Structure 1
């Protein structure tokens, strides 16, 4: 999310949507990725999710005979036998790092870690199959022999307490979150946990209220359930399956609504069960509230696939505006999201370099490119030009007039 050398139509976007790292580097606070269905948008999030999982877990969750879960590009004879390539460039403790690896189903083919201590990029380690060259700074001599062919050297190094490796994996685990806009079960639990443990509770509830979901407050209750509390007629094997570790905790989330009389005066409050009585959109916004507040407060990176799914366009816009603001995003958190919501495709919200597209080329590969690559004026109508196909990345729908035979 490197900012391009350009000026927005409105100078406030250059001041709010971008932050300066040093004299040579500026980064964006948000980026939107558009594209047709099956153009590869979600694969960006999936690839990063896999890369992060493999970096953290390959040393401890794989055995020597297990396959690596990479998915090769199968639509080209040129690439079907080549390894999958992953690389990430990031800032940690004020220094720039570049880490990556290449892997097939059977083995890690190459792996590298470089950083910039002052001006020049310097190698920390570099690997070609089972040959690993390690710098003195990385302090991991002897660990090469402990690294399996299907495990990452960085992951093994962290397992053996190499400080730089530990810090990188800790940063990766705690500073980057990838969530799905279609399935919110995972991060809903995080929001509930924050409310139960009073972590950012006031800010989470304030955000939920300001997004106008139709209720005044939220109550979260944690209930302990034991095998003895279940119906007696339930078979013991089912009880034992669900209660392997004894007592289980169940969370209940209720939203508070006002009850009115015939004169529209408030006479009482009524509680709705979030899962049973609130809309799918309300459930999603509730689930997103915890990660959003945490990301903004701690300057993290949040990646949301299908941000617009199940929520109103004005709520999507409000979320983006939280990041594109020095006032609400003083810690320079970053939001990357995949979307079909063209209402956000506006020069009143984004600079050109914040808008990205994915397009599947003729031979099946995905091309990722920025609107900044197009020679269009800052005041161009991004939305209408995109719908017209001027930037590509849209479905080209055939003639459907005769799809259904009216005489049949």
Structure 2
């Protein structure tokens, strides 16, 4: 195996906070933050957070625990959904299959609550902090706002604020049971644009992009195309550094059939990748990457206690080894490329020891990446490895089937001296469990 070393990429593109509502099982606002606590307790966990030059102290990792079908995957999907507004920027409107079922009232979209609100706070490599709000409905953008500042202690300054000022729509049909693709609306939709420092010419160009009835793309994207530096920076973080990974199938299979493999191909040859991968089995002494079929034909070499070695193709190895081979790419991205990886049930094939090994490894390295993952593993409810702010729960109400996201930090009665947090959770003291 030709092993290459990699230099730590400097930077501090990190997620500070994220909010959303009316997405799949989440009806009410769900709030998630990666801010380290202001209390002295963080001195017990010096490797679990980084201190940025702009004044923020941000967590390196967090775990979201919940029962089956509780809504953990929907949290990850919401980030994918939010990111897609920037990737596929032709339009920004809400489809019926993404809103909470309790907000659907019949087939007519005008009689249902399609409003979705997303808020995100990020910091970029230069230390600049962004705050972004996107409010969309069935017709398109209701409100979009981008703000920026240079330090934690100063106020945000507006970059862009767009708000719908008129929305006079009428349905051409008298029926109440129209299908969504039969919906025929007529009317006028207008916006109020507030963009500090923009010329009248550019403002006019933006206003001309607003059509009467077709959903319009993000104004932040339009500003980036016009050369606005702050819009370009913010979109760059969302598109390139936020990596939600939610896969219904084995992750190694998903990557193996992926047409564009440039995102991970070079990583497989890095010595740092091998150091991560061998955590799955310390008898692994080397790997020989197959460039054509890395997830099937790569050779894994193991060393016995007597010093003898043998090899096996990864396609013939255990499912846990194959799956972790793929997930090790994402862990590499966190540590050596400073990506914000949100992994859905990464440890579904990993034993608790390996899961703890991975988290310890992420925290022990100096980097500006973040690793957020969902899990069924209640052994992650451990205040010896995590601060309370790093542990989140997702619970689903058995009557409304609505999900709720909350932090262990919301329970002041839970003290760090309490070592068996998982017992509190299983008894229902910390919210919903499968026993409800």
With the length of structure 1 as denominator, give the TM-score of the two structures: 0.77
Residues 394 and 138 of structure 1: is their aligned pair in 2 closer, same or farther, counting only changes over 3 Å?
farther
Aligned partner of 2:231 in structure 1 is 165
2:250 corresponds to which of 179, 183, 200: 183
Q: Please give the alpha-carbon distance, in whole angstroms, between the structure 1 residues aligned to 2:310 and 2:48.
A: 41
Q: 1:34 to 1:190 in 2, by over 3 A?
A: farther
CA separation in 2, counterparts of 1:17 and 1:43?
A: 26
Aligned partner of 1:18 among 49, 68, 72: 49
2: CA distance between counterparts of 1:251 and 1:91? 35
Residue 378 (structure 1) aligned with residue 416 (structure 2): yes
Counterpart residue number, 2:219:
153
Question: Are the equivalent residues in 1 in contact too, given 2:159–2:230 (CA < 8 A)?
Answer: no
How is 1:230-241 mapped onto 2 (pairs within 5 angstroms)?
Answer: none
> Are the equivalent residues in 1 in contact too, given 2:54–2:127 (CA < 8 A)?
no
Between the aligned partners of 1:132 and 1:46, the Cα distance in structure 2 is 31
SS of the residue corresponding to residue 290 of structure 2 reads strand
Name the CA shift for 1:302/1:138 in 2 (closer, same or farther; >3 Å): farther
Which of 87, 98, 101 pairs up with 1:74?
101
Q: Which residue of 1 aligns with 2:36?
A: 3
Given that 2:331 and 2:371 are in contact with CA atoms closer than 8 Å, whether structure 1 keeps it comes out as: no
User: Which residue is equivalent to 1:99?
Assistant: 132
SS in 2 for 1:367: strand
Do structure 1's residue 317 and structure 2's residue 356 form an aligned pair?
Answer: yes
Which residue in the other structure is 2:86 paired with? 55
Partner in structure 1 of residue 433 of structure 2: 394
Q: How much does 1:116 deviate? A: 1.9
| Mapped contact 1:29–1:335 kept (Cα < 8 A) | yes
Task: Give yes or no for the alignment of 1:358 onto 2:394.
Answer: yes
Q: In structure 2, do the counterparts of structure 1 residues 213 and 174 end up closer, same or farther at CA, with 3 Å as the change threshold?
A: farther
- Do 1:56 and 1:169's aligned partners in 2 also have CA atoms closer than 8 Å? no
Query: Structure 1, unaligned stretches of length 5 or more?
Result: 224-248, 398-408
Measured in 2, the distance between the counterparts of 1:303 and 1:157 equals 28
Q: Specify the alignment match of 1:257 in structure 2.
A: 301
After TM superposition, give the deviation of residue 282 of structure 1 in Å.
0.7
Instruction: Quote the Cα distance in structure 1 between the aligned partners of 2:387 and 2:161.
Output: 37
1:191–1:314 Cα change, 3 Å: farther
**Contact 2:160–2:220 under 8 Å retained in 1:** no
Hey, what does 2:284 align to over in structure 1? 215
Distance 1:145 1:253, change over 3 A: farther
Report how far residue 47 of structure 1 moved. 0.6
Give yes or no for contact 1:222–1:251 (8 Å, CA) kept in 2: no
Q: Distance in 2 between matches of 1:43 and 1:5?
A: 29
Q: Residue 77 of structure 1: CA displacement?
A: 6.9
Answer whether contact 2:158 2:196 (CA < 8 A) is retained.
no
**Partner of 1:282 in structure 2?**
321
Q: Secondary structure at the match of 1:75?
A: helix
2:298 maps to 1:298 = no
In the alignment, is residue 369 of structure 1 matched against residue 369 of structure 2?
Answer: no
Alignment partner, residue 71 of structure 2:
40
The verdict on how the C-alpha distance between 1:27 and 1:250 changes in structure 2, with shifts beyond 3 A counting, is closer
1:133 is aligned to 193
Give CA deviations for 1:109-162 in whole Å, capped at 9, x if unaligned. 221111124511111111123414242357753223225533211223334443
Distance 1:194 1:112, change over 3 A: closer
Deviations 1:326-371, CA, capped at 9 Å, x for gaps: xx1x123211111011122111110111111112234333221111
TM-superposed deviation, 1:69: 7.1
2:146 to 93, 106, 113: 113
2:76 and 2:370 map into 1 onto residues whose CA distance is 15
- Distance change (3 Å), C-alpha of 1:154 and 1:6: same
What is the CA–CA distance in structure 2 between the aligned matches of 1:384 and 1:269, rounded to whole Å? 43
| Whole-angstrom distance in 2 between the partners of 1:100 and 1:338 | 25
Supply the distance in 1 between the matched residues of 2:222 and 2:240 (Cα, whole angstroms): 19
Q: 1:41 to 1:137 in 2, by over 3 A?
A: farther
Distance 2:281 2:135 in 1: 46
Change (3 A) 1:103 1:377: same
Shift in Å, 1:257: 3.5
User: Would you say the 8 A contact 2:268–2:274 is kept in 1?
Assistant: no
State the secondary structure of the residue aligned to 1:396: coil
1:174 equivalent among 229, 240, 257: 240
Superposed CA deviations along residues 168-195 of structure 1, whole A, max 9, x for unmatched, are: 2222122111113653144566997577
Alpha carbons of structure 1 residues 368 and 122: separation in structure 2 relative to 1, 3 Å: same
| Root mean square deviation of aligned Cα | 3.2
